[in-house]
Structure 1
């Protein structure tokens, strides 16, 4: 039997709500058909935004949304997406599927979507093929509340008041699709471009996100941090608020990027291999964080994991450039495990965006015409929403052992614990075993006998269980009752292949 010791008198970092963020790119059916159907659609909508999707995202408590990319961002010219829709420029989306992008979803539509969702905005600017002036004028168009050419143009296009940009990404993957740059060159470009991302009077400061590394490119992190800090004024922290990290869990790929493995048809060995690769996120945060500590020991600059999740082969018969894949209990476990890792690193990780929101990669929803289903990953995010804005508590898991074998070995149970402003403690655990349940006794070091379970839920199923439009509730969040209060603490039996949330209150 394992033991989870919670030091509930040991308050640690705040878990930023933005850790539970999401990513929407002009890719496949994420924007069009997924989020936006147009004002004239027969599918119920408000100003073109799907009502069913918006309501489900609000229920999940989405905190922040990143747009317009991704690789698309560094080919996106924002003026193509404003003004009357009939006269907006059309283009070929050369990155994703070779389809026509008609720019009917642009700046106004994005901010309308975020208004309906009640979430923060994360706009990714075009450094790769754009200009400093273009980026600067976009920020002016969105945020300036005064007389200027861009503010006047916004008003002419029907929006009198400015919007708020909470986060602004200066380029995306500039080591690759965003320009194939060397780290020193990108860092110099970042310094120049971010200078003109203005904080206009009366606005809250825009948090500026610098393009960080791809996976384990520690040299990129080192050289970008070094270059950005070189010959800079003491007010440098106004120059960079976050450094991004991208890491996708690729189930099978070794040498051939085009063979990542099926989303639903995989072996037990591949299951554990996938989870172990997901668990690599912990090492990435530790090692990149250590480099950041050399320049930013006070952790004022957040590590922003704004692209993460499982990336498999597309579903048979779909456009390979649309990256449409199914979503199983394997995805749910990777999501739960990764979010627990982010929580436990919340002193450094300040935002994360799973890729992507809907119909693309490890999405939380899938749509087919007027139909919409929630994926296992959705139910994990819904379960974990109680961690948002709560305080991380010190927790130590003893005796749970490991699963997998050899290079695929990883901890059997991964947890995180937080306490909210009302004193409610949320414990989330993943049981990464396919075969065996795990008995865990939860012990609190401060007045533990006074606590009882006030709410509990579970997401569970076989490793490849998933929801379809014909059977939309194969995997859902269910009430959980397999616990009891004992003299030693609260004993919980976590089912095999499951994610469990236990909430404790005096």
Structure 2
């Protein structure tokens, strides 16, 4: 039998072949770290049909809308308590000049979206439209400033336009455009992917540039520096070194990591895949823990008091686009496999809540691992949406440390832990989220809750008949959130069975 103690990590020990009795021990009495609600954040870029047609249709559209925002999408976002929304990009952010997107819509100049499809946009969705949307759905705004093709003055004036109460040209301009009071925008990104589409900069040069932009972004409370692409640890090292002793300028450092079954040239199909691709996808997405460990270790070297949070502001699956769609629109379907990817990553973020302060799945509507798909007047809630709806119980809850011992899910000559887990407590309610990564076999699990007494127990489950099940337009959804019957604990233990390829929530009151 193999055994391991894990207090804040997701995975169980791998390597031995003997089957084990799966057990989860919750240390409820040691709970102290808050799971920031912003870990459950989202991302909306001017990319494909995310903004236009996905979120915004205009107030003259025949699609039911609230001041131009799709009514069905607004209601769906409010249902999952979306805590923070990142905009306008992404790569688009470093071509976006904010003054083109304010004032009367008929007077706004157009822009060619050079990164995503080469389409021409009319700038009808700009600063006011985005921030009004955030107020409508009750979410915090996270704005990415243009460092790649913009200027310090442009960035500084945008912050002033949005946040300032002072008498100034920018506040006067805001009032002329119909907004008397400033918006309360806390989160600001200083550039995006500056190592790539955001300017192709060296980390040393970007570190200096960040200090300059951040110094003039007065009114920006929480400034987020552009961090690394996946396993580029040198970027983190150099940027943290350049900003050491200047951490009053930096509150967060970003990280981008996408889960691809294969590689950037051959990403694989979103729906037509076999068990090998299922296994490889889940194995690769579990490397998020490795990334958090290694990047945070470098960060703590320069920031020993943990004042700079890790911001995973782009994550999710990336497959080949759906056949017949614009390659630059990154439109892909979303299956039960994506639900498992979402559950695994959110469990990792929960268990690393001391380090990870925000995360933003890419993207909210019609792009990559979208939680919502739209087509004309129709809307589909994807399996990933239902995971976010299930996991919303963790927002601003207190993370419960745990010991997890579990069997491995084996495929051919490789293996990964069969179970992923995280837990939290809020208002006396214990919430446990679990993923069974094995698509073929159920997993029995014993959960030790100690001496705590709970009289009420409930369960929810997301699963499907097949690995590739997904929800499509005009069809009965195949992957939804359902109730799950769970037996009451006995002698401080809750014994249950996790069905194959499932995401499960257990709540104890």
1:216 aligns with 2:223: no
Where does residue 202 of structure 1 map in the other structure?
A: none
Question: How far is the alpha carbon of 1:451 from its aligned partner?
Answer: 1.9
Where does residue 18 of structure 2 map in the other structure?
A: none
C-alpha distance in 2, partners of 1:308/1:409? 23
1:457 aligns with 2:457: no
C-alpha distance in 1, partners of 2:377/2:347? 34
1:18 aligns with 2:25: no
Contact 2:91 2:192 in 1 (8 A): yes
> Secondary structure at the residue paired with 1:419?
strand
C-alpha distance in 2, partners of 1:97/1:409? 39
1:387 aligns with 2:390: no
Q: Among 334, 340, 348, which residue is 2:347 paired with?
A: 340
Cα RMSD (Å) of the superposition? Answer: 1.1
Q: Among 88, 111, 129, which residue is 1:91 paired with?
A: 111
Where does residue 371 of structure 1 map in the other structure?
A: 378
Where does residue 427 of structure 1 map in the other structure?
A: 432
C-alpha distance in 2, partners of 1:488/1:473? 37
Structure 2 portions without partners, runs of 5+: 1-20
Structure 2 counterparts to residues 57-456 of structure 1, below 5 A: 57-199=77-219, 206-229=221-244, 232=245, 236-253=246-263, 257-406=264-413, 408-420=414-426, 422-445=427-450, 447-448=451-452, 450-456=453-459
C-alpha distance in 1, partners of 2:121/2:83? 27
C-alpha distance in 2, partners of 1:472/1:181? 48
C-alpha distance in 1, partners of 2:406/2:250? 41
C-alpha distance in 2, partners of 1:52/1:150? 34
Structure 1 length-normalised TM = 0.95
Contact 2:406 2:417 in 1 (8 A): no
C-alpha distance in 1, partners of 2:493/2:67? 52
> Secondary structure at the residue paired with 1:212?
strand
Contact 2:91 2:115 in 1 (8 A): yes
C-alpha distance in 2, partners of 1:47/1:472? 30
Question: How far is the alpha carbon of 1:18 from its aligned partner?
Answer: 0.1
**After TM superposition, where is structure 1 displaced by more than 6 Å over at least 4 residues in a row?**
none
> Which region of structure 1 is more displaced relative to structure 2, 408-417 or 97-106?
408-417
Structure 2 length-normalised TM = 0.94
Question: How far is the alpha carbon of 1:107 from its aligned partner?
Answer: 0.1
C-alpha distance in 1, partners of 2:410/2:507? 26
Number of residue equivalences: 488
C-alpha distance in 2, partners of 1:73/1:376? 28
Contact 1:483 1:493 in 2 (8 A): no
1:475 aligns with 2:479: yes
Question: How far is the alpha carbon of 1:472 from its aligned partner?
Answer: 4.4
Question: How far is the alpha carbon of 1:376 from its aligned partner?
Answer: 0.2
C-alpha distance in 2, partners of 1:290/1:160? 45
Distance 1:483 1:63, change over 3 A: same
C-alpha distance in 2, partners of 1:100/1:454? 53
Contact 1:8 1:444 in 2 (8 A): yes
Where does residue 66 of structure 2 map in the other structure?
A: 46
1:490 aligns with 2:494: yes
Question: How far is the alpha carbon of 1:83 from its aligned partner?
Answer: 0.6
Question: How far is the alpha carbon of 1:488 from its aligned partner?
Answer: 5.6
1:414-459 CA deviation, whole Å, 9 max, x = no partner?
1001001x110000000000111011111112x23x1244321000
Question: How far is the alpha carbon of 1:484 from its aligned partner?
Answer: 4.3
C-alpha distance in 2, partners of 1:399/1:323? 36
C-alpha distance in 2, partners of 1:3/1:502? 15
Contact 1:140 1:150 in 2 (8 A): yes
C-alpha distance in 1, partners of 2:214/2:184? 17
C-alpha distance in 2, partners of 1:30/1:410? 34
C-alpha distance in 2, partners of 1:430/1:127? 40
1:200-238 CA deviation, whole Å, 9 max, x = no partner?
xxxxx6200000000000000001000111xx4xxx332
Contact 1:484 1:492 in 2 (8 A): no
Contact 1:458 1:498 in 2 (8 A): yes
C-alpha distance in 2, partners of 1:64/1:488? 37
Question: How far is the alpha carbon of 1:13 from its aligned partner?
Answer: 1.2
Contact 2:458 2:486 in 1 (8 A): no
C-alpha distance in 1, partners of 2:398/2:315? 23
C-alpha distance in 2, partners of 1:409/1:296? 36
Contact 1:374 1:472 in 2 (8 A): no
> Secondary structure at the residue paired with 1:416?
strand
